[in-house]
Structure 1
Amino acid sequence: MATDYLVSKRVTNLGDSVGIPSEATTLQASRSNPLSTKVTSVLSASYADSDIRDALSLLDKRNITNNAETRRNIRLDVQKEVIESNGEIIREFGHVAEQLKRIGLTVASLNRGCEEMKLHISAAHLETSPVLEEASELLKQKEQVETKQKLLKAFNAHFIMSEEDIYILNSTAEPVNDRFFAVLSRAKKIQTDCEILLGTENQRLGLEIMGQTSKNVNGAFQKLYRWIQHEFKSLNLENPQISASIRRGLRVLAERPSLFQSCLDFFSEAREHVLSDSFYTALTGRKVSGEEDTSVKPIELSAHDPLRYVGDILAWTHSATVSECEALEVLFISDGDEIAKEIQAGRDNEPWNRASDGEEGAGLFDGIKALNELVDRDVAGVARVLRQRVGQVIQSHEETIMAYKIANLLNFYRVTFTKLLGAESLLLESLATLEESALRQFRALMRDRVASLRIDTQTAPHDLGPPDFLKEGLKQLTAIMKTYDSSFTADGSREADFIPILEEAFQPFLTSSEKLADHLAAPEDSIYKINCLIAARSILGPFDFTMKRLAILQNSIEEQSTLLVEYQYTFFRRKAALQPLLDALAPIRNTPEDLASIRSLEEFQSDALTQASQTLDDFLPSALMDAMENLKNLQSSPIGRDITEEAAENFCEDFEKLEEKLVAADREWEQLADKESSTRTRSLRELYPRTGGEIRVLLS
């Protein structure tokens, strides 16, 4: 391509030198052969070819001068350079060949060395193979030994207790603190985990460890039991806070129900002595040792009244019981669930103790119930002294009101202690016994009082008012009802509970007073009974728990009032001369024959009927005053007025019936007289002219 380039340049330069246009030059060149062919190939070449451009670029970089010599020698120069370059390459390849020869020698030497090393390695492998196998076996054994050592270490750390831990559990010289409880908890965990060892083929190890651990745990519980007893001796409940260590100790000891119950028995016994001594000091002002306590005001010296004496004793007992509950509820209420769980776990571990629990659910621990039982046992000594002292007061006083007030006070505290200690309590039993004793004394005194009345020798008062013994009994009943009204009783049972009291303190007096009416004639007997009933009603009326008895009294008053109405009614008819007329008309019917026969009756003859009319006229002006005079001893004017008005109303109704019969008889007589045309005589109404309206006006 360089040659073509040179030829093309040459032809171009030649054409330019002779002044021939380029086209003419081309035509001339095409005619000359082979030059023309060459020129044509050059001219026909595409200068867009990348190879040509690269060749031209190389020529430009060589800085070749464009002259004839250069153009002639360029090919030779290029070929020379190519030859020189090839020679240089050959020389370099010669050096490479020499190096490859040396490398080949080195590789052959290395191969020989490797072969020798393989031989040595094979020999060494043959020699060391038994040793390696033995070393591998030893390594495996070492690994197994190390694993066993780790297992043994872990086993000892988990199942074996150190001498120091055993000393902490069993020695009384070591305190019962957090470390003791931690070691005890670990020992119990070991006991539980020993069950896994018992499930393996070799049970001997598990049995030995469990036996030793159980021995240590039992010793720890004995130590804890003695420590709690010692703490109970010095425990001050006046500052009602049980220390956390004692609470924790009791919670842990609950796992041994027998020891736990024994501790509670010991505590209750100690507290019983303390409270009994305090109660004795509160009563007498002296300690049990005989030393006087100036800080205490003795109840026996300050309470001269029996009721106040009993009230002070009960108030002190209530205060001591409340303080005891507040001091112990921290133990049984806040930790009750934990104690219940521990007790249940202990009973599960001691199946021989479950047989004594009775029913299946009887052994469940109830914190509130346990608290109430413990407090009740603590105050058992106080309850005995209280029962003795209050019993002496009840038996030594023979005042009826006092006996009932004491019984009512005992009832109040019994209800209060029921809410505090529950329904089953020795203290409640003592209070119930004392209350029954006081009520029995009250009933006995009331019976004696009624028996001393000597009703047979007494008579009703002249004014027919309530007798003195009834007034006294009602006064006494008033005091009793006021006491009962202020008592603490349920609203639904107030009236029912008071019925026995009424039967003892009221009914005998009322019955005895009513017996005095047996010697009285009417209407004094009814007036006397009504006066007594009214007095009783006025006493029972203000209280809401006597409604049924008030209804009974009201019925009795109405019964006696009915008798008085009948008496007054009879009085009206007798004084007004109406009774004979009514008796004569009783068999007369409303037939014309019977009505006509009235004039033939003796009572309705002219003289007799005129006399009856005169008697009626004489009675009517003062009838009401005379009737009220009959009831002058009745102490309730409204009742007397109502009785008289009702009797007057009945009298007016009877008079109106008489009036109707007389009018009917006159009408029949007039009809008969017209038929017979006989001489007419005076009518019955003319002989007995008063009308019913006039009677009502005069008696109103």
Structure 2
Amino acid sequence: MTTPDILLPLEDRNEQYSTEDAQLQENPGLKSNHLPVKASQILSTSVTDPDIKEGLSAFISIVGSNNADNRRQLRAQMLQELASSSSQVVQDFGLIALQVGYIGDTLELLHETFADIATRSDRGEADIRTTLQERDTLLLERLRVRRREALLHAFLEKFTLPVADLAKLTSASQALEDDFFDTLIRVKAIYSDCQVLLGSESTRAGVEIMDQMTKNLNSAYQRVYLWLQRELKFVSFESPVGNHRVRKALDVLTSRPGLFQSCMDTLAESRQQTLTDAFNMALTGGERGMDTKPIDMMAHDPIRYIGDMLAWLHSTLVSELEALQAIFELPPASKPRGTTHMPELEAVIDDTLNVRDHMRPLVDKSLETVLSVLRFRTEQVISSHEEPTLLYGLLNILTFYRETFKKAMGPETLVISAMDSLVSAATRQLQSCLRDLVRAVQHDIPTTTMDLSPPVFLLEALSRFKDLDKKFEASLISESYKPIAFDMIYSEALQPYIQGCQTLSTDLASPKSHIFMVNCLEVSKNTLRLSPYGAKHYLHLLEDIVDEHIASIIFYLHEHFLEMSGLSRFISTKDDKDIKLLLDSASLTQDTITECALQLDEFLPVAISDAEVQLSHLSRPSLRKTIVRHALDQFVKDFASFEALLLELPPTIFSRELFPRTTREIQILLG
């Protein structure tokens, strides 16, 4: 460590300064103000500076005592160490220079090596660039090849069939299993997809594939047709659940309407023979030991006989529909296995016809022979009976089953046509019988009785109408047909007889004609009230006619009261039943008033009894009292008007002594 200059003795500092001066003289380039600056630096240093204190402490620890010898020894020692260190540094720098030379040679060698590497890299880069371009070209080519390969595989999978599948489709030795139908669906899909090829650049391939698929489809359809022809002849309708392959085959043939219709005809012929035999067996009981009795055993009871035949037809029709539905409609669990991964092919089967549309015509054709036998037997029963009640019962049964069959089969079928024909035959026969009865009455029409009671032919007609109405109420015909059914029995079994009574009444004088018609209409009303439907819809027609006849009777009684009381010379009634007073000075005198009063006094005691005698033949006493009361009320009203006009006459003509009766007295006397 160098001792600070401020601590050196004076003589040492002089030596230092002289040495520095000598250095300055050797270096003439240095400026002459070095010492003042140095001195100012020393003088400006504070005694309390930490660096000064640390340096002094270190110096004391080395020197021990601060004297000139120690300082000179220290300086000599320091110079010696400095020289030794400088020599060592020079040696070290010599080694460093040697190493730097080696490094320089090495760097030059590295430079040459890196230059050679750079040259080789440039040449390799050019080679690699060419290789990469070739690689990209090969990758693109491989990608195109793979795409073509994938397209080829997809095309082959889409438009070709494996040999094994083609053998399933065309080989006649194999049965029609689910694999066959799956393959057929596949062929149909290929044929349909060829339309895409025809619209693209692959027209030739599309035509060739379509030709091949057409041949395959024709072979498959022919095979299905032949197999189905055999199966339909022996198909079981008792347990049709296992016939799902028949339904699949029928679905397949919907694309070939001619083949499909031929199969339907085959099935219809088979079922027609079977159902005809079953119907004949049900009629005659073909086998002994049967639990059910033959229908022909009930031929003596026409309603039971025809009802049993129609019930058998209904049961058979429903069974046929259910069996065909089980055959034609696949359950959800029996879908073709091949449609799980191709759901779009499910609609390929039913694209032309719907098998369900052929169920009702098939049942219709199967029952054709049965309907012919049923129609013949029913028409024979209808034509051989002339009892209206029995015929109406048959008509109700036929109408009920016609409505039932129409719900199951629809309106445009042979079953409904046959039932319409039978209903028309029964209706004509019933109308003919009822009209014959009416003509018999018209041919030998009786005369009215003395008591004006309803004639026998009306009572018989009402009894017959009551029986017909019971049949009507007990029938199960639809509400829409009830107005037609009831109107027929009303217009044919009741209304002509009421008109006959009206004809009889024309031979009677009033009020007997009206009383006779009221009696006939009242008994008709009582019979019609027993029918809920007739009472609701037709009773008001008879009530209106009864009201007209009652009004005529009241009008007659009113005129009779005026005539018997003597007021008819002063009061006139016209055909329109209006009342007109005929009062003038010539007709009203004291004599005429006195005569009228005397006649009125004679009339009042016997008015009611005389009226009841006039109406004694009315069948209903309450109606008789009502008619008399209305006639008396009108008479009292006319008398009140007559009395009011009398009171307006002068006293010289009218006085209470001549005509003492008042309106109040008349009301009391007439009850």
* TM-score range for the pair, normalised by the shorter chain length: 0.7 to 0.9
Q: C-alpha offsets along residues 338-360 of structure 1, whole Å, 9 cap, x if unaligned?
A: 9995477448xxxxxxxxxxxxx
Alignment match, 1:204: 204
Amino acid at match of 2:254: A
| SS at 2:652 equivalent | helix
Alignment match, 2:473: 485
| SS at 1:453 equivalent | helix
Give the CA deviation at 1:454.
Answer: 5.5
Give the CA deviation at 1:224.
Answer: 3.2
Give the CA deviation at 1:306.
Answer: 1.4
Amino acid at match of 1:319: S
Taking the aligned partners of 2:536 and 2:344, their CA distance within structure 1 comes to: 53
Amino acid at match of 1:163: V
- TM-aligned CA distance change 1:573 to 1:97, over 3 Å: closer
Aligned with residue 427 of structure 2, among 436, 439, 459: 439
Identify which range, 571-580 or 297-306, moves more after superposition. 571-580
- TM-aligned CA distance change 1:293 to 1:134, over 3 Å: farther
Alignment match, 2:546: 557
Alignment match, 2:616: 632
Identify which range, 472-481 or 497-506, moves more after superposition. 497-506
Alignment match, 1:572: 561
Q: C-alpha offsets along residues 98-127 of structure 1, whole Å, 9 cap, x if unaligned?
A: 798799899999999999x99xx99xx9xx
Alignment match, 1:532: 520
Taking the aligned partners of 1:493 and 1:549, their CA distance within structure 2 comes to: 16
- TM-aligned CA distance change 1:522 to 1:75, over 3 Å: same
Identify which range, 475-484 or 292-301, moves more after superposition. 292-301
Give the CA deviation at 1:532.
Answer: 0.8
Give the CA deviation at 1:211.
Answer: 0.8
Alignment match, 2:340: none
Give the CA deviation at 1:693.
Answer: 3.3
Give the unaligned 5+ runs of structure 1.
15-24, 348-364, 671-682
Q: From the two aligned structures, give the one with the greater helix fraction.
A: 1
Give the CA deviation at 1:420.
Answer: 2.4
Give the CA deviation at 1:553.
Answer: 2.0
Contact persistence 2:272–2:367 (CA under 8 A): yes
The 5-angstrom pairing of residues 150-189 of structure 1 reads: 152-189=152-189
| SS at 1:280 equivalent | helix
- TM-aligned CA distance change 1:502 to 1:78, over 3 Å: same
Give the CA deviation at 1:590.
Answer: 4.9
Q: C-alpha offsets along residues 611-633 of structure 1, whole Å, 9 cap, x if unaligned?
A: x7555544433332232122222
Give the CA deviation at 1:444.
Answer: 0.7
Alignment match, 1:646: 630
Give the CA deviation at 1:409.
Answer: 1.8
Contact persistence 1:281–1:293 (CA under 8 A): no
Give the CA deviation at 1:377.
Answer: 3.8
Identify which range, 93-102 or 301-310, moves more after superposition. 93-102
- TM-aligned CA distance change 1:43 to 1:502, over 3 Å: same
Amino acid at match of 1:284: T
Aligned with residue 594 of structure 1, among 576, 586, 589: 586
Taking the aligned partners of 1:513 and 1:590, their CA distance within structure 2 comes to: 42
Alignment match, 2:651: 667
Give the CA deviation at 1:399.
Answer: 1.2
Q: C-alpha offsets along residues 10-45 of structure 1, whole Å, 9 cap, x if unaligned?
A: x4xx7xxxxxxxxxx69x846985379899799689
Amino acid at match of 2:456: D
TM-score by length of 1: 0.72
Contact persistence 1:652–1:695 (CA under 8 A): yes
Taking the aligned partners of 1:338 and 1:473, their CA distance within structure 2 comes to: 71
- TM-aligned CA distance change 1:137 to 1:471, over 3 Å: closer
Structure 1 residue 451 corresponds to structure 2 residue 439 = yes
TM-score by length of 2: 0.75
Structure 1 residue 72 corresponds to structure 2 residue 64 = no
Amino acid at match of 1:171: S
Aligned with residue 695 of structure 1, among 656, 661, 666: 666
Give the CA deviation at 1:204.
Answer: 3.2
Give the CA deviation at 1:639.
Answer: 1.8
Structure 1 residue 516 corresponds to structure 2 residue 504 = yes
Q: C-alpha offsets along residues 645-678 of structure 1, whole Å, 9 cap, x if unaligned?
A: 23333444455555566666672348xxxxxxxx
Taking the aligned partners of 1:293 and 1:308, their CA distance within structure 2 comes to: 23
Contact persistence 1:383–1:427 (CA under 8 A): yes
- TM-aligned CA distance change 1:136 to 1:553, over 3 Å: closer
Taking the aligned partners of 1:226 and 1:456, their CA distance within structure 2 comes to: 73
Identify which range, 564-573 or 237-246, moves more after superposition. 237-246
The count of residues paired between Structure 1 and Structure 2 equals 620
The 5-angstrom pairing of residues 181-580 of structure 1 reads: 181-201=181-201, 203-239=203-239, 241=241, 244-286=244-286, 291-292=287-288, 294-301=290-297, 304-329=300-325, 331=328, 342=348, 345-346=351-352, 370-453=358-441, 456=444, 458-488=446-476, 491=479, 494-495=482-483, 497-542=485-530, 543-545=532-534, 549-576=538-565, 579=568
Amino acid at match of 2:669: L
Taking the aligned partners of 2:478 and 2:377, their CA distance within structure 1 comes to: 29
Taking the aligned partners of 2:484 and 2:117, their CA distance within structure 1 comes to: 127
